[in-house]
Structure 1
Amino acid sequence: MKARAMVLEEFNKPLVMREFELKLPKDGELLVKIEAAGVCGSDAHIFKGNDPRAKLPMILGHEGVGRVEAISGNWEDIYGYELKEGDLIIWDRGVTCGKCYYCTVKKEPYLCQDRWTYGISVGCNQPPYLRGCYSEYIYLVQNTKVLKIESNIEPEVLVSASCSGATCAHAFDTISPDIGDTVLIQGPGPIGLYAILFAKKYGAQNIIVIGGTKERLNMCKEFGATIVLDRNLTTLEQRKEIIMDITKGKGVDLAIEAVGHPSAVSEGIKLVRNGGNYLSLGFGDPNGTVTIDCYYDITRKNLRYQGIWVSDTKHLYMAANLVLNNKELFKKMITNKYKLSEATQALMDMANRSTVKSVLIP
């Protein structure tokens, strides 16, 4: 039996449809039939050759939801439920060693030096080949953390929980707003939408979103943003004046950068109040530097600037439950669906932001 997958063989070149021999899993692995694969902004960065972790040739796709096709050994999900053929599952995209300093002492497995990620840091030139979600099937290694989905939900609605949702959950697990706080979100994409709902869940009173895409900003309103500011229709000074007016001259309590561009950092830090927090989630690849006035922007403000790198299984759990409790909202986030063969077009649409969230349906 053969399985089709879209392979990135050269950066900035169309993905190529390849067939791989499909065999029963061995060595304790799990064979999963992909039901939906998310097209993430990080995939567009990899496609362009901007992610130093990428190893060509490779099958892109680190966001996946699928059904168990075949099992080698005994598999249980994070609840301890035995997995069976036909079960719908979502999995932690990152695989860690579980025994290093970061995994065991600091309990920060997302910093594991041996961590690798499906569809990002593994190639497809060695058996069993299928390690990315832009494929009909994927093999999961034995120590992959899996969550069995028993709720009735369309797989494409859940798929973003494994990356955008989990990364955002990591941010709020690190620093969360107090009841009544004002939260600023820079970037109205999938991470920004998750951030709106997490901010509401933690009790934020005002949720302000800055972005440059009308469709995405309108969706932010549907998700619960109280104010949206189009950066193409406002100046830096105008946005600052509006935000200072809302916060009675103090600035926001918490700002979340979900853009991945230095200009967002330059603006956002100055909009945070004294003693506030700035979380940077958006830099999934090297994308320039920013100059910060260490006295006025950091020390004098007693500002906490916190980077957020990927996520762990706890954060996948948090994000998946957020989606399961808000199915209809997240269904709206899926603005484009593509066939597996249309993966290159899906990447292009994500790169130019003509879609909010794109999903491949193999």
Structure 2
Amino acid sequence: MKSRAMVLEKFNHPLVLRNFDIPNLPEGAILVKLLASGVCGSDLHMAKGEDPRTPLPIILGHEGVGQVVQINGEKCDLNGKKIKTGDWIIWNRGIVCNNCFWCKVSRQPYLCPNRKVYGINLSCKDYPYLLGAYSEYMVLFRETEILKIPQIDPVCLVTAACSGATAMHAFDLISEPLLSKTVVIQGAGPLGVFCVVAARTLGASQVIMISGSQQRLELAKKAGADIVLNRHDINEEERTKKILSITGNRGADIVIEASGNSKALLEGFRLVRRGGMYMITGVAVPQESIPLDVYHDLVFKNIHIQGVWVSDAKHLVQAVDLIAKHPEIFERIVTHRLPLSQANEALKLIEERTALKVAITF
């Protein structure tokens, strides 16, 4: 058997379609036939060489949904259900060492310094080669955390693997219930829209979305946002006044950066109320430093700043559960479906911001 895959061989060069022999599986590993793969904004950063974790050559793609073709041994999913040939599954994109301080002592496995990630830091030059989701088949190591999924449209579920799980990680870090709270979200990409659905589901009284795309704002509205603000039509001062006017002149209880742009923090600090919380979920690669007024923005306001780095198995389960309850919303998020051979076109759509979410379908 062979598998076609799109390979990044040089940064800032098009991906190349290659054929791989499907190898003998390592002990405990699973061979998966991809049903759908998500094209993430992080993939674009990696293709440009902006993510220091990326080796070459590599099969990109850390958001995958697939069908089990072969299992070398026995395997159960995160709910203890035995996995068998034909099952539809999704997997935690990261594999941790389960032996370091962060895995064993602090119980923060997403911070494991030895974490391996499909499609991000596993090269296709190394056995068993098929280690990214821009491929017809993938090999999942024995240590991979796997979840059986309902047989709904697989493109609905690709966001669970990355942006969905990251969003649920963010909400998992909020210690108080969202009931009666106002949540402002900066950025209406897949991560931001997922945060809208999560905030609404968890009981937020008001959800406000800020974005520069009218199309994305309309989707955020359908996903449950009470108020949407187009930053091209309403300037920053007017946005601040609007949010203050609907929060008793206090500001938002929680502000979530989901734009992927560090500069969004300059506005975000002004939108969060004294004693509120600011969560940075979208900045995933090194960027320019930003100026910060420590006294006025942090100390005087006594705010809680929370960085959110990736996710763990718990958050994947939560993300899949949320999607399964609202498949119609997450199907709308996927604005383009392309075959594997058009992965370069998919990345271009993301770069040009023509698409909200692109899925590679098989």
Q: Give your verdict on TM over 0.5.
A: yes
Alignment match, 1:17: 17
Alignment match, 2:170: 171
Deviation digits for residues 119-163 of structure 1 (CA, Å, limit 9, x no counterpart): 0011111221100000000000111000011x2301111111010
TM-score norm. by structure 2 comes to 0.98
1:358 aligns with 2:358: yes
1:244 aligns with 2:280: no
In the TM superposition, structure 1's runs of 4+ consecutive aligned residues that sit over 6 Å from their partners are: none
5+ residue gaps, structure 1: none
- Residue 178 of structure 1 deviates from its aligned partner by 2.6
2:84 aligns to what SS in structure 1? Answer: coil
Aligned-residue Cα RMSD (Å) equals 0.9
Aligned-partner Cα distance in 2 for 1:73–1:47: 35
2:273 aligns to what SS in structure 1? Answer: strand
Does the 8 A contact of 1:38 with 1:62 survive in 2?
yes
Deviation digits for residues 100-132 of structure 1 (CA, Å, limit 9, x no counterpart): 111111110000010010000111112211000
Alignment match, 1:64: 64
1:165 aligns to what SS in structure 2? Answer: helix
Matches within 5 A, 1:218-233: 218-233=218-233
2:33 aligns to what SS in structure 1? Answer: strand
1:207 aligns with 2:207: yes
Alignment match, 1:39: 39
Alignment match, 1:130: 130
The code of the aligned residue for 1:269 comes to F
Aligned-partner Cα distance in 1 for 2:6–2:151: 29
Aligned-partner Cα distance in 2 for 1:100–1:263: 34
5+ residue gaps, structure 2: none
- Residue 198 of structure 1 deviates from its aligned partner by 1.1
Alignment match, 2:277: 277
- Residue 283 of structure 1 deviates from its aligned partner by 0.8
1:261 aligns with 2:261: yes
Aligned-partner Cα distance in 2 for 1:261–1:152: 35
Deviation digits for residues 231-266 of structure 1 (CA, Å, limit 9, x no counterpart): 111111111111111111100000000112122100
Does the 8 A contact of 1:43 with 1:61 survive in 2?
yes
Does the 8 A contact of 2:262 with 2:283 survive in 1?
no
Q: How many residues align?
A: 361
Aligned-partner Cα distance in 2 for 1:287–1:216: 24
1:70 aligns to what SS in structure 2? Answer: strand
Matches within 5 A, 1:89-168: 89-149=89-149, 151-168=150-167
- Residue 177 of structure 1 deviates from its aligned partner by 5.1
Alignment match, 2:29: 29
Does the 8 A contact of 2:88 with 2:151 survive in 1?
no
The code of the aligned residue for 2:346 comes to A
Percent identity between matched residues is: 47
Does the 8 A contact of 2:26 with 2:141 survive in 1?
no
